[in-house]
Amino acid sequence: MKIAFFSTKPYDKIWFEPMGKEYGFDIHFFEAPFQRETVTLARGFDAVCIFVNDYADAGMIEQLYEMQVKAILLRSAGFNHVDIQAAEGKVCVLRVPSYSPEAVAEFAMGMILTVNRYTHKAYNRTRDFNMSLNGLMGVDLYQKTAGIIGTGKIGQAMIRICKGFGMHVLAYDPYPNRSLDVEYVPLEQLMASADLISLHCPLTAETKHIVNRSTIAHMKQGVYLVNTSRGALIDTDALIDGLVAGKFGGVGLDVYEEEEGIFYEDKSGEIMRDENLARLMTFPNVLITSHMGFFTKEAMQAIAKVTLDNAYALENGLPLVNSVK
Ligand code: NAD
């Protein structure tokens, strides 16, 4: 099988290059993202392998179909960046449903601890031998209320972590998992009662801007918010207004509504034209990271293995257990 691998970074090759050889695949690594302008690079390949800030819209899928590309191999769990309906019956879409939920949940808790206890600021201060504690006071998480939105694999890992911190945990999910030891409440109640809100639902038409002007207004004063899921779950304008109004104790964003083309790239030598992102960077209680919750050795290895297993199943007519329909 010939695979065109898009948005390649050096850390992708560490796993995909040797494993691809073991499977006998011919993988061509393109640094370019997969987008309208680059879709024709897929000509002559059996599959394209894409990441979270690549996309495949209906027109691109039609082009893939005409070029006889059989599959889109997603190196991610989320699939909001592919027009699944357009792909039906034309190009098979295969994803990695789970690689290391703990990687993302541990990172989410790490973000909360950082913005709450200002370890990012303390790190810089102590390097200058500025040992002052002024402005670095946080709050205990113990016995506070965590609100987990989405109780799938990552949400469940986050619930375990919050319980380990001695927190009271509330959850919201339209498909509650009754086997979990957690109290499900309506979304409005969660928003109003949680000291910490962590987003772990996928991006869909229903969840877009699930955090918006109205839900922010109902949150507790001093609430902590962390988003390691998808940027568009939060209405960024409303978030900025909430931050300006002093609503939030702290905000951790591993994802951002307009991250495509910015996250995963070194933009340090350029003028940042995204004004919302630039504004978010100015708040002392906001931590932004570049969509890296997944980024552990274990997760990367698992992503490579499942992605190539998916390709192997396709090539050999085996059941496509990870196809997205
Ligand atoms: P999952 O499919 O196991 O769980 C998602 C849960 O969200 C399900 O229980 C589902 O019922 C629930 N849900 C659906 N609609 C909802 C709604 N309207 N409100 C609340 N909950 C809703 O997915 P997962 O593996 O736990 O991943 C969750 C999300 O995390 C993914 O969709 C992806 O966007 C994101 N993610 C981010 C990173 C990262 O590096 N930051 C890595 C992996 C996944």
DSSP 36-70: TTTGGGGTT-SEEEE-TT--B-HHHHHHHHHTT--
Residue 58's identity, in one-letter code, is A
- CA-based end-to-end distance of the chain: 23
Tell me what pLDDT residue 209 has: 98
Q: State which ligand 1 atom lies nearest to the alpha carbon of 101.
A: 25
Q: State which ligand 1 atom lies nearest to the alpha carbon of 295.
A: 40
Tell me what pLDDT residue 287 has: 97
Domains and CATH numbers, the chain: 2-99+296-315 (3.40.50.720), 101-288 (3.40.50.720)
pTM (2 decimals)? 0.93
Contact 264, 289 (CB under 8 A): no
Closest C-alpha residue for ligand 1 atom 21: 150
Catalytic positions are 230, 259, 291
Q: State which ligand 1 atom lies nearest to the alpha carbon of 151.
A: 9
Tell me what pLDDT residue 157 has: 98
Structure tokens at 193: 């009662």
259-293 pLDDT tens trace: 999 999 999 999 999 999 999 999 999 999 999 99
Q: State which ligand 1 atom lies nearest to the alpha carbon of 228.
A: 41
Distance (Å) of CA 29 to CA 26, 33, 42, 311, 314: 10, 11, 11, 16, 20
Instruction: For a ligand 1 pocket test, name from 201, 229, 289 the mutation site with the most ligand atoms within 8 angstroms of its C-beta.
Output: 201
CA 116 to ligand 1 center in whole angstroms: 24
Contact 19, 307 (CB under 8 A): no
Residue 260's identity, in one-letter code, is E
Tell me what pLDDT residue 180 has: 97
CA dist 239 and 170 (Å) reads 22
Q: Which residues contact residue 171 at a Cβ distance below 8 angstroms, ignoring those fewer than 6 apart? A: 147, 148, 149, 151, 155, 159, 180, 182, 183, 184, 185, 190
Tell me what pLDDT residue 102 has: 97
Instruction: For a ligand 1 pocket test, name from 229, 287, 306 the mutation site with the most ligand atoms within 8 angstroms of its C-beta.
Output: 229
CA 175 to ligand 1 center in whole angstroms: 12
For the chain, list residues with pLDDT below 50.
Answer: none
Closest C-alpha residue for ligand 1 atom 14: 201
> Quick one: which H or E segment has residue 199?
strand 196-199
159-186 pLDDT tens trace: 999 999 999 999 999 999 999 999 999 9
Distance (Å) of CA 283 to CA 194, 239, 276: 22, 12, 12
Q: State which ligand 1 atom lies nearest to the alpha carbon of 294.
A: 40
CA dist 292 and 301 (Å) reads 15
Tell me what pLDDT residue 148 has: 98
Pocket of ligand 1 (CB under 6 A): 77-78, 98, 101, 104, 149-155, 172-175, 200-204, 206-207, 228-230, 254-255, 291, 293-294
CA 201 to ligand 1 center in whole angstroms: 3
CA 137 to ligand 1 center in whole angstroms: 32
CA dist 177 and 97 (Å) reads 18
Closest C-alpha residue for ligand 1 atom 42: 294
Contact 55, 34 (CB under 8 A): yes
